[in-house]
Structure 1
Amino acid sequence: MTRERQNRVAGRRALRAAALMLVGLALASGCGLKGASQFAPDAEPGSVRPEPDLKDVRIVVGSKDFTEQLILGKMAVIMLRVAGADVVDQTGISGSVAVRQALERGSVDANWEYTGTAWVSYFAKPKPVPGREAQWQAVRQYDLAHHQLEWFAPAPMNNTYAFAVRSEDAKKLGVSKMSDLARLPKDDLTFCVESEFASRDDGFEPMLKAYGIPLGSKVPRGNVRTMDTGVIYDATDKGRCHFGEVFTTDGRIKALGLTVLEDDRHFLPNYNVAFNLREELARAHPRLRAVMEPLTAKLTTQAMLDLNAKVDVDGEDPGLVARDWLRSQGFVR
């Protein structure tokens, strides 16, 4: 499964190279971008009603091709169709750069994007802005000024880095937040991390320093195991390390019964999701905000984790998961 982590690994050089390759492939094939699946189930109006402002307005909704993005993309497709728009479903596009370039070119009108991804990867800003609201404001202002792209209000959900521990070990060690680690003996401070986060200037080593457990002294280097992203969850669950690097909305956290430690010193960057669209479209149809922002406000980290687990663990269809959740919240019937 492609994860949002791939967005964050790409630096400026990789972003440029991928963009050039995308353009070349598009020119060679003469084809537009294709989503992985255009199935989105029908729904009837709930709290979302048909909007005269949106009647028959053509809106191309794109998304990346990993589970969370597919679910969010299908939510947007369903909501906007119920509101009366003529929605073209382009969810499931392979690669973050492809989606971003499609939005900038106008072949996609809207998608869901993460504030941290835009700031760090797309805008190549070296330091995240602390705080959900402040990071979103910085991203919104930059994208409006440089790319004429609008960002609606961000969701509470934060698909960011975190460290998780087996729930039984959390109780045994008496830890619930990262600052608790400072009182543990060295032998208990064992970590599983992937190589990109381990080497970042704002990654693993600076994080340990911020929490008073510097690498090489409080945390012996031999206590740190570097491994592939997908292996870390299983390795943590099997006790190969006490603390594994995870993403806060990953369904495997729930499936494996892991406990995510609170980043109580707010060291890790914010990756709040928001509905991102062309400024021209947002200005021409102001009721889009009234349709989408109430949905965004309901997207918590726990809600997204549960929805991801329905697809990745239980094998349900992303479109049906999206519609059923929208029904449970009263947006549609």
Structure 2
Amino acid sequence: MFTRSKLSTTVGLSAAAALLLSACGGSGAEESPNEGLLEGAEITAGSKEFTESVVLAQITSLALEDAGASITDQTGISGSATVREALETGEIDFYWEYTGTGWVNILGNTTEDVPEDLFAAVSEEDQENDIAWLEPAQFENTYRIAVKEDFANENDLTTMSDSAAFIEENPDQGRVCAASEFINRDDGLPGLEQAYGFEYTEVVELDLNLIYPQVGDSCEFGEVFSTDARIAANDMVILEDDQEFFVEYLGAMTLRQETLEEHPEIEEIMAPISEQLTAEVMMELNGRVDTDGEMPEDVARDWLEENELIGG
């Protein structure tokens, strides 16, 4: 079964009390809205290494387990290519992906030829790889470049075009902190510099989690994710992508077609969850992990229970 982290003393006592009431015939916990739908199913969960991907995997795992599935946790896989390979080879059954990543990095298309309905195009094309995309959530988490708020104000920086001009005039203040994947992706740093016709003076490669505190120190500019609560927590502002280089990055659960065919109930279980996952919700959940220090599983469980998406 899915491995659980330790709960706080208060929560642990509450859970124990609820269990005792249930054993005595009481009606402590609410029933699961999907009880028994996945009874006997064995599903392996995957995710990328960053907070949002792990939180989404925890949300999904808890919802599927609540419906009766046995979940094996293989979350925290480093790199989009690695986790996608794990999905294709059957090492995992699902993980959450983004439409822009699917279009460019997985399916090999360009950032210049993007269909109007990107999700439909990605979903249809990926069927050839026996990968299913469930209906996307109500949030987009795209790459962005951010700077310290006071640095932006001092130098009148509001857009990426502003920053390109600034770096041309001030090469000594043109350092960017970025993670390895962004540095090497066509829809990341290389494409961004080409689209805006400039180059950063220096690229400082860091683990994604180290970028936020280093902006304003090791570098003036930093790669960020648009739903990351650490942007505000570190007094940073996002530069507007005024040339609309970054493609749409809607979040959606991807899973092996074989898994979906064997357990079509997964789509029914996940639909109301995706419907409630907005940008505001994701930023709040990400913040509870990254800035408040809570465990992803605890954050996921709280949100699911508060919205009556699993049994309480």
Structure 1 contact 114–273 (Cα < 8 Å) conserved = yes
Taking a change above 3 Å as real, the CA distance of residues 238 and 65 of structure 1, as seen in their structure-2 partners, is closer
1:172 offset after TM fit, Å?
A: 4.3
Are 2:48 and 1:71 aligned? Answer: no
TM-score, normalisation: structure 1? 0.69
The answer to whether 1:270 aligns with 2:239 is no
Q: Deviations over 1:253-309 (max 9, x none)?
A: 233121112324321133332111222332444432232122223333443333223
Report whether the alignment pairs 1:88 with 2:66: no
Other-structure match for 1:5: none
**Residue in 1 aligned with 2:192?**
207
Give the superposition deviation at 1:140. Answer: 1.4
Paired AA for residue 322 in structure 1: A
Note if contact 2:94-2:256 (Cα within 8 Å) is conserved in structure 1. yes
Which amino acid is the alignment partner of residue 161 of structure 1? Y
Give the length in aligned residue pairs.
285
CA 1:94–1:52 in structure 2 vs 1: closer, same or farther (change >3 Å)? closer
**Distance across 2 between alignment mates of 1:270 and 1:39:** 34
Q: Is contact 1:311–1:321 with CA below 8 Å preserved after alignment? A: yes
User: In the TM superposition, what is the alpha-carbon distance from 1:245 to its structure 2 partner?
Assistant: 2.5
The TM-score, its normalising length taken from structure 2, stands at: 0.73
Matched with 1:121 is: 105
Task: Supply the AA of the counterpart residue of 2:4.
Answer: F
Q: 2:213 aligns with which of 206, 227, 234?
A: 234
Q: Alpha carbons of 1:98 and 1:124: their partners in 2 closer, same or farther (altered >3 Å)?
A: same
Deviations 1:298-325 (A, max 9, x none): 3334433332232233221111011122
1:134 maps to what in 2? 117
Residue from 118, 142, 145 that aligns with 1:160: 142
2: CA distance between counterparts of 1:183 and 1:105?
Answer: 45
User: Counterpart of 1:100?
Assistant: 84
- The percentage of counterpart residues that share the same residue type is 34
> Residues 299 and 129 of structure 1: is their aligned pair in 2 closer, same or farther, counting only changes over 3 Å?
farther
Gaps of 5+ in 1: 1-34, 216-220
Q: Quick one: distance in 2 between partners of 1:139 and 1:312?
A: 30
Cα–Cα, structure 1 residues 193 and 270, in superposed 2: closer, same or farther, change >3 Å? farther
Q: Would you say the 8 A contact 1:115–1:272 is kept in 2?
A: yes
Cα distance, 1:72–1:197 mapped onto 2, change above 3 Å: closer
| Separation (CA, whole Å) in 2 of partners of 1:327 and 1:129 | 41
Output the CA distance in 2 between the equivalents of 1:318 and 1:196: 23
1:303/1:225 CA distance change after superposition, 3 Å = farther
